Chain A
Amino acid sequence: MSLGTLYGLIAIGYTMVYGILRLINFAHADVMMMSTYFAFFGISMFALPWWVAAIIAMILTALLGIMIDQGAYRPLRRAPRISALITAIGVSFLLENLGLVIFGSRPRAFFRPEIFRPVWQFGEIHVLSLSVYTICITAVLLVFVYIIIYRTRIGMAMRAISRDMQTVPLMGVDLNRVIAFTFGMGSALAAAGGILWAMKYPQIEPLMGIFPGLKAFVAAVLGGIGNVFGAVIGGFILGVTEILLVAFFPEFSGYRDALAFLLLILVLLFRPTGIMGEVLPE
């Protein structure tokens, strides 16, 4: 369950950017990876309490997301979409390899704070408290996301731009500010997801983003890309399916990474707009 919510958190970033720019931000997963390193160094080098480090990491990650957008994607706003996609793959590889160069390829142990350590028992079921907290934190963040998207001016601008990118700037909305905000917000959520991920599987390495990132993308498609709450539901379904596969068919557990893509292919075949997506005419 907590795995699903983590996929959901990361998927929000994909789905928000896609909703506005129609761009699969391949670098999103690696932005998540960077966030875990920010938090890691915050805790280990500056001896910050973990929650301060986490918040600072979220802010830094948001800035990183905005920088990537301004540096790499903004010059390509009017270019064919494929160019932006290739650039996104390039940025993703750049971050991964910079990570390898700067942080080294050796995995590092990530810190799991005291309050997330105890194992709670509900009747027959043992649950790591981190899993419960993960779900709570995600819920709180989702409320924030909801408020921002549906109750603020910038959220209104975001929704408007995803409907019509040509007209909205004519109405006096600063397009680049809104896009930058979207990247910042998506990246901050990815940072939250990444840090929780690093606490769940307590080690980090520069290539750790690839699989969670791909699966989060699948989750976003599953839920209907462009739809924030669809992304969470998609993440949830994916996480639960994966855990069930491992639980009931342990001999297939090696294939769990392939499962997401099978799901993706099935969804695209039978309901290309995802579970929550609107059916758009072509």
Chain B
Amino acid sequence: MTPKTRDRWLTYLSVLVLLGILVLAQEYADEYQVRILNMVAIYITLAVSYNLINGVTGQFSLEPNAFVALGAYTASLLTLTPLEKGMSFIIDPCIWPLSVISIPFLPAVIIGGLVAAFFGFLMGFPVFRVRGDYLAIVTLGFGEVIRVVANNLQSVTNGPLGLKGIALYTNLWWSWGLALVTLFVINRLVKSSYGRALKAIRENELAAESMGINAFRHKLLAFTMSAFFEGMAGALLAHLITTISPMLFTFFMTFNLLIIITIGGLGSITGSVLAAIAFAWGSELLRAVEEPINILGLYTIPGIPGMRMVIFSIILIVVMIFARKGFMGRREFTWQWLFDRMHRKGIGL
């Protein structure tokens, strides 16, 4: 068996193990744990696709909240029944084509992704004419514009009231299914010649262009791709929390993703996955600091709401100052690495 086929079988095996865990979780875990598992999967999807543009291509952008919002709104508007829409849209009735259609979940998710990708594609034209810091600000502005539009376009998005009563379609199969598809596609993309071109752009755009790489087209590809997956993740998110409003899609969401990908290592898919798991889990664990803490039954520190974000911000700053490469740097997990480790420790295979 060549190492390559061995690695492939090991990957299939680990996916099977994961599916097994999910079956068990579906059967035995309580609602809260299932919810965390769903969030973990959505965070993985978001972080990996965000990392494609920020880490792999090296184009520092701050817009995922916009694509998530686009996907979430599109899919929710498509799955909500006309009756529910009539009830939600109090101030302005919903505009015509949207008010009567209602389609199943899967096409709605895909259309959500496509709409996000379409906007990503359009946005790419002005956005990638600038670089570096400007890119960050323009994309940040784009995220804000989407939110402002969602707030004001009463007849489509129901404005600040948001959409309610979205059916709870997202379950572990949907969320982890999307996460796996995202991982598979982006992993293949990064390892293909496109991926090498993207990395070349990250390292030195001028040099890459002089090697015959059309930097603009590749950046646009990565941007559209990441928008597509972020939009689908947004659609799943909307059908998980069942209520969406513009306030959900602030820069705050982008900030969380930024923490995930920098801690995991900009440019490392493995790092993003690990950090996404750690983040989703950690933010649940850190709820403890927001609750009253009792020291030896003598003294009670009152709970401080908001303390979690203070801790996250400090973690981000500390990581940036002392461990700039993050947890994984640009390395990836490979089976070969695991075998080498085992050999060194004297565990033969």
* Contacts A100-B306, A255-B149, A258-B144; A83 near B313 (Cβ below 8 A): no
In the complex, how many residues of chain A place their beta carbon closer than 8 angstroms to a beta carbon of chain B? 42
Chain B 111-150 residues near chain A, CB threshold 8 A:
126, 129-130, 132-134, 136-138, 140-142, 144-145, 148-149
A94 proximity list for chain B (CB < 8 A):
310, 313-314, 317
In the complex, how many residues of chain B place their beta carbon closer than 8 angstroms to a beta carbon of chain A? 39
Judge if B26 is at the interface, Cβ distance under 8 Å.
no
Tell me the bound Cα distance from A202 to B152 in angstroms: 25
* Closest A residue by C-beta to B315: A90
A93 proximity list for chain B (CB < 8 A):
255, 309, 312-313, 316
B 301-319 to A, binary, CB cutoff 8 A, 1 in contact else 0: 0001111011011101100
Judge if A279 is at the interface, Cβ distance under 8 Å.
no
* Closest A residue by C-beta to B129: A269
Judge if A87 is at the interface, Cβ distance under 8 Å.
yes
Contact A72 B148 (CB under 8 A): no
* Closest A residue by C-beta to B206: A282
Tell me the bound Cα distance from A81 to B62 in angstroms: 15
Judge if A101 is at the interface, Cβ distance under 8 Å.
yes
Q: How many residue pairs, one in A and one in B, have C-beta atoms under 8 Å apart? A: 109
Contact A268 B138 (CB under 8 A): yes
B266 proximity list for chain A (CB < 8 A):
82
B 52-74 to A, binary, CB cutoff 8 A, 1 in contact else 0: 00000000101000000000000
* Closest A residue by C-beta to B136: A85
* Closest A residue by C-beta to B261: A86
In whole Å, how far is B157's beta carbon from the nearest beta carbon of chain A?
A: 12
B129 proximity list for chain A (CB < 8 A):
268-269, 272
B304 proximity list for chain A (CB < 8 A):
101
Contact A258 B321 (CB under 8 A): no
Contact A214 B144 (CB under 8 A): yes
Instruction: Please give the residue numbers on chain B whose beta carbons come within 8 Å of chain A beta carbons, in ascending order.
Output: 60, 62, 126, 129-130, 132-134, 136-138, 140-142, 144-145, 148-149, 151-152, 251, 255, 258, 262, 266, 304-307, 309-310, 312-314, 316-317, 320-321, 324
Apart from A87-B321, A97-B306, A261-B142, list 6 A-B contacts with CB within 8 A.
A23-B133, A82-B266, A90-B313, A97-B313, A214-B144, A258-B144
Instruction: Please give the residue numbers on chain A whose beta carbons come within 8 Å of chain B beta carbons, in ascending order.
Output: 18, 22-24, 72, 75-76, 79-83, 85-87, 89-91, 93-94, 97-98, 100-101, 105, 210, 214, 217-218, 221, 254-255, 257-258, 260-262, 264-265, 268-269, 272
